[in-house]
Amino acid sequence: MQVITIVQTKGGSGKTTTAMLLASAALNLGRRVTLIDGDVNAQLGRWRDSFELAAWEGAQKPEWPESLAILSPPESVEGLLSLLEAEEARGVDLVVIDTRPGTHTDTEDFCLISDLVLIPARPVYAEWEMTHRAVLWMDDLRASIAEGERFPAVRVLVMDAGPKIIDAATREGGMRANAKAPGGRLVADAITRQLEVAELVLTGIDEVIPA
């Protein structure tokens, strides 16, 4: 089982979007996925709500995938570790932990129990400073733990996704509803391509932390 925490110090930098995209791509590949909503502002829970409440534009509403769970994190690190054990025991392949903006100790705890810390960034100059800060934060965290103790791999994920496509893919019923909406075929195709990109990202992740 792979455990990934998504970290970025600034709000609105694509953490939750990355979590949703990776989960969607992993489901497409037949993997079992658990998302842990490590942000106090439960955005992942709202993803599920918007799925349930979407109009679906006449498309038959599918069931929420049985192989995708969205959980709240337990209060303690011990609780988190036993939750991960339980998820592994029930055959989950991928756990993605979304976090809140800022440099909080709860986010550090999530990182320390993970195999990989992923720092999402868009390919624009303005994001490099904040991305650098996030990398330095992870360096400090690595320096703060005892020599020889396990530490996650840290990678920056640079991804340019059209915000409209991302919003269409992650809200209001996603691809199936959009396929029926006016002009929706184009949106649906773009979402499909976005998912292909996310599948490539998963392949890269498998190389860093074998599935």
Ligand X SMILES: Nc1ncnc2c1ncn2[C@@H]1O[C@H](COP(=O)(O)OP(=O)(O)OP(=O)(O)O)[C@@H](O)[C@H]1O
Question: Judged by CB, which is closer to Mg ion: 17, or 178?
Answer: 17
Question: Judged by CB, which is closer to ligand X: 87, or 127?
Answer: 127
Question: Judged by CB, which is closer to Mg ion: 107, or 178?
Answer: 107
The contact set with ligand X (CB under 6 A) reads 8, 11-17, 39, 43, 101, 122, 159-161, 163, 166-167
Q: How many residues bind Mg ion (CB under 5 A)?
A: 3
- The Cβ-side half-sphere exposure at 110, using a 13 Å CA radius, reads 28
CA 84-18-100 angle, to 5 degrees, is: 70
Residues sharing a CB contact under 8 Å with residue 104, sequence separation 6 or more, in sequence order:
none
x/- string (CB under 5 A) for Mg ion, residues 151-180?
------------------------------
The item of Mg ion, ligand X, none sharing an interface with residue 122, based on CB under 5 to 8 Å by kind, is: ligand X
Print the SS3 string covering 132-188: HHHHHHHHHHHHHCCCCCCCCEEEEEECCCCHHHHHHHHCCCHHHHHHHCCCHHHHH
Helices 43-53 and 15-28, packing angle to 10 deg: 60
Question: Judged by CB, which is closer to ligand X: 39, or 108?
Answer: 39
Interface positions, 39-98, toward Mg ion (CB under 5 A): 43
- Using CB under 5 A as the binding rule, whether residue 32 contacts Mg ion is answered as no
Q: Which helix (H) or strand (E) holds 60?
A: none
The three-state secondary structure class of 37 is strand
Stretch that binds Mg ion, among 38-46, 136-144, 150-158, 170-178 (CB under 5 A): 38-46
| 184-189, long-range: CB < 8 A, 24+ apart | 184/57
Quote the least distance from Cβ 91 to ligand X, whole Å: 28
Quote the least distance from Cβ 17 to Mg ion, whole Å: 8
Residue 38's φ and ψ, nearest 5 degrees, are -90, 10
Question: Judged by CB, which is closer to ligand X: 86, or 197?
Answer: 197
Contact positions vs Mg ion (CB under 5 A):
15-16, 43
